[in-house]
Amino acid sequence: MMILVVDDEPQIRKLLTTGLGGYGHEVIAAADGNEALTLVAQRRPDLVVLDIHLGREPDGLEVCRRLREWSRVPIIILSVRGDERTKVQALDAGADDYLTKPFGMEELRARIQAVVRRAVVEPGGATESVIRVGALEIDLANRRVLVEGEEVHFTPQEYDILRLLATHPGKIMTHPAILSAVWGPEYAEMTHYVRIYVNQIRKKLRENPAANVRYILNEPGIGYRFVDL
């Protein structure tokens, strides 16, 4: 099993690499959040052991949230903080387990085995890190969108709507589902938000129905559907 270890302290990375390697795992390491996101996209590890405090942005919680936008790789969060609030934040961000420092390698090994067993029993809908449709390319790991090879800027809300649709190709996403996912459940009735933002997204994607270039399909009165890959 390939395990990605993410920690900004060289001594911890070395300890975990040596310890997990001694159990027969292939271990790769990252010193910060951006490197971790890149390695998950490129190497596709079977599990991530992620420190919550990485010295610089993005921190472990943000890395976890961004991974959950496109990957179901099991994640175990490490932290010196054992308070309930921090644990809840980690789990809400998408972590599968939480381990407080200091810890023993045998305990980490047991947590890894338990998380992997759950992942096998309850498989998630993992997505490729890059979605390509026609002239459109969405780099989910780095939150980048290219149209005809040119990077296009999207606001956070625009990107989140596009990502939500693109990671569920062919599935109708209702207006309330989009609103709840992007703005929160309290916005579920604000359907005009979705129409306005989808129109902006379509312009940036350079959709042209006359030339048969259409990525987001309208389901009148219901919602939207991304073209089936």
What structural domains does the chain harbor?
A: 2-121 (3.40.50.2300), 130-226 (1.10.10.10)
Question: What is the rounded distance in angstroms from the CA atom of residue 85 to the CA atom of residue 90?
Answer: 9
- Give the model's pLDDT for residue 127: 53
Weakest mean pLDDT among 25-34, 84-93, 112-121: 112-121
Residue 32: exposed, middle, or buried by beta-carbon count in 10 A (0-12, 13-18, 19+)? Answer: middle
Q: Where are the beta strands (DSSP E) in 66-209?
A: 75-79, 97-100, 130-133, 136-139, 144-147, 150-151, 172-174
Share of the chain above pLDDT 90, in %: 62
Task: Give Dmax (Cα) for the chain.
Answer: 63
CB 179 within 8 A of CB 193: yes
The average confidence (pLDDT) of the chain is: 90
Chain centre to alpha carbon of residue 116: 18
- Give the model's pLDDT for residue 121: 52
- Give the model's pLDDT for residue 190: 84
Residue 125: exposed, middle, or buried by beta-carbon count in 10 A (0-12, 13-18, 19+)? Answer: exposed
Type of residue at 200: Q
pLDDT tens sequence across 15-68: 999 999 999 999 999 999 999 999 999 999 999 999 999 988 999 999 999 999
pLDDT tens sequence across 145-199: 999 999 999 999 999 999 999 988 888 888 988 998 898 888 878 888 899 999 9
**Given CA atoms 221, 202, 63, 128 in this order, what sign does their dihedral have?**
positive
H or E segment and range at residue 33: helix 33-43
pLDDT tens sequence across 196-206: 999 999 999 99
